[in-house]
Structure 1
Amino acid sequence: MKILVTGGTGFIGRWVVEKLLKDKHDVWVVDDLSNGRLENLETLTDNENFQEFVSGDIKDKACLATLFENNFDICYHLAASINVQDSIEQPQTTFANDVIGTFHLLEECRKHRVKMVFMSTCMVYEKASELTGISEGYPVKPASPYAGSKLAAENMVLSYFHAYQLPVTVIRPFNTYGPFQKTGGEGGVVAVFLKNKLSGNTLSIYGDGTQTRDLLYVEDCARFVVESGYSERANGEIINAGFGKDISINDLAEMIVKDKTRIRHIPHIHPQSEIPKLLCNYQKAKDMLGWQPVFSLEEGLQKTEQWIKSTNLI
């Protein structure tokens, strides 16, 4: 197939591109490089099926119109403003990228009858109850403009399924980690903790550290993203993906550094947007796509640590 990946130089995006190339599809990538890095594609652009990298903005209608002349079969839409704190401080930027940009892409997909897989987020959900994981029908609670923008875009995407019979799938991966994730700022708790461990620094935890996360290794996530695009059964659906177990940030820090004296707690920078418990129920993905995670947390942490060591990011 001919496939477009928006945000393909980003952390999850480059793994999606790699999986699509392994599956022998022709792949185009569009990215404005505001969050991704061209180096992430270094080992992939020599592949005979890698067609083109376009430095462009999904809000640029002319750029999209030219791109879509390639007659794609699927558009995996991963481009987004993803930083929660930035969305609180600059909601207009997040709304413009995540809602308006998605609308412009949807219009091109509608004109050319291209399936869209829309990357949403687990951050749209209310906190999980103590026992049950979060399934797709679970209550939503957009506690940041980032989550609000993702929900707004989800609704637009699904409206094109109902109004125009456009094949679309909305996916909500949980907290994804692994090689190529940024190791600073809000790069991801696993990457930040591992970098600080390897650098001999203290691991800083926002708040009391009892908040939990469901950590999904990136290769499992990329396989989920790609296979949701292949499946006709997934059209018009919202689908979660996660590891299916959660871990507190305190326990994660201890698992990584194995020394409580190197862990400190600091005031939370955006407590209003903290979700106290995230735990994924991925039964729908298992039933509909035959998908389930294969990498354990221990395996994923080891692979991520090896990658950080190999890149001299410490």
Structure 2
Amino acid sequence: MRALVTGGAGFIGRSVVKQLLRDGHDVWVLDNFSNGREVNLEEFAGHPHLQDVLKGDIKDRTLLTDLFQHRFDVCYHLAASINVQDSIDDPQTTFENDTIGTFNVLEEAKKHQVKTVFMSTCMVYDRALNDDGIRETHPTKPASPYAGSKLAAEHMVLSYFFAYGLPTVVIRPFNTYGPFQKTGGEGGVVAIFIKRKLAGEDLYIYGDGTQTRDLLYVEDCAHFVVQSGYSDRANGQIINAGLGQDVSINHLAKMIVRDESRIKHVEHIHPQSEIARLLCNNDKAKQLLNWEPQVGLAEGLRRTEDWIQATSLL
């Protein structure tokens, strides 16, 4: 296939690019490098199937018009503003990137009938109510402009399936972690905790730490993303991906640092955006895509710590 990956230099995007290249497809990457990093793609330099890495923005309609002349078979649309706190402080930027930017991509995809896989987020959901977890039919509750922008974009993505027959898929991965995730304030909780552990610093938890997360290893997430683009059965669907197990932030911190004296609780910056329990029901992904996660939490944490320790991020 000929595949475009927007946001392909990001944490998840680079793993999607890696999977597509491994599967033998020709890949183009579009990224404005506001969050993604060129270094994330260094290992693919000179790869015969990596056709181009373009620095550009999905809000640039002229750029997208030119880019889609390559007649892609599929567009994996991952480019987005992803920080919940930033979206609360500056909702306009998030809305323009996540909703309007997605509309721009859809318009070009429609012109050329390019299947579009849209990466949404588990943050659109209300909290899990029981151990069965969150199914795709679970109530949504956009508690931040980030979640609201993603939910608005989801509706546009599905409208292009129903109104124009454009093959589209909405995917909602749960909290993804692993190598290449940033370890600063904009990174995920796993990367931040591990970095602070290795630096001999305390781990800070917002609130009481009883909130839970379903943590999905990045390679499992990338496999899910790619499979969504391969499968015709996914067209017109919303599909979750997660480990199917949740862990409290308190317990996660203990797993990582193994010294409770180094765990501190601080006041939550934006408590209104907190989701008390995130637990994925991934039955639909198993049924439609024959996908299920391969890396458990303990193994994923070990791999992530090994990677952070081996890099110069400390």
- CA deviation profile, 1:277-312 (whole Å, cap 9, x unmatched): 000000000000000000010110011001101112
- CA deviation profile, 1:119-176 (whole Å, cap 9, x unmatched): 0000000000132200000000000000000000000000000000000000000000
> In structure 1, what is the Cα distance between the partners aligned to 2:130 and 2:137?
17
Structure 1 residues not aligned, in runs of 5+: none
Q: Hey, what does 1:211 align to over in structure 2?
A: 211
Q: Hey, what does 1:56 align to over in structure 2?
A: 56
Q: Hey, what does 2:274 align to over in structure 1?
A: 274
Q: Hey, what does 1:296 align to over in structure 2?
A: 296
Q: Secondary structure at the match of 2:116?
A: strand
1:69 aligns with 2:69: yes
Q: Secondary structure at the match of 1:97?
A: helix
Q: Hey, what does 1:27 align to over in structure 2?
A: 27
Q: Secondary structure at the match of 2:3?
A: strand
Q: Hey, what does 1:190 align to over in structure 2?
A: 190
1:136 aligns with 2:128: no
- CA deviation profile, 1:175-197 (whole Å, cap 9, x unmatched): 00000000010300000000000
Q: Hey, what does 1:96 align to over in structure 2?
A: 96
Q: Matches of residues 115-154 of structure 1 in structure 2 within 5 Å?
A: 115-154=115-154
Structure 2 residues not aligned, in runs of 5+: none
Q: Hey, what does 2:177 align to over in structure 1?
A: 177
> In structure 2, what is the Cα distance between the partners aligned to 1:45 and 1:152?
36
> In structure 2, what is the Cα distance between the partners aligned to 1:69 and 1:130?
47
1:16 aligns with 2:16: yes
Q: Secondary structure at the match of 1:43?
A: helix
Q: Secondary structure at the match of 1:176?
A: strand
- TM-score scaled by length of structure 1: 0.99
Q: CA deviation at 1:46?
A: 1.9
> In structure 2, what is the Cα distance between the partners aligned to 1:104 and 1:163?
16
Q: CA deviation at 1:44?
A: 1.1
Query: Over aligned residue pairs, what C-alpha RMSD do you find?
Result: 0.5
Counterpart of 1:242, as a letter, is: G
Q: CA deviation at 1:94?
A: 0.3
User: Among the aligned pairs, what percent are the same residue?
Assistant: 68
> In structure 2, what is the Cα distance between the partners aligned to 1:79 and 1:45?
21
Identify which range, 127-136 or 151-160, moves more after superposition: 127-136
> In structure 2, what is the Cα distance between the partners aligned to 1:236 and 1:296?
30
- CA deviation profile, 1:244-298 (whole Å, cap 9, x unmatched): 0000000000000000000000000110000000000000000000000000101
> In structure 2, what is the Cα distance between the partners aligned to 1:122 and 1:15?
19
1:114 aligns with 2:77: no
1:2 aligns with 2:11: no
> In structure 2, what is the Cα distance between the partners aligned to 1:302 and 1:66?
43
Q: Secondary structure at the match of 1:58?
A: coil
Q: CA deviation at 1:45?
A: 2.4
> In structure 2, what is the Cα distance between the partners aligned to 1:130 and 1:3?
38
Q: Secondary structure at the match of 1:3?
A: strand
Counterpart of 2:246, as a letter, is: D
Q: Secondary structure at the match of 1:233?
A: helix
Counterpart of 1:227, as a letter, is: Q
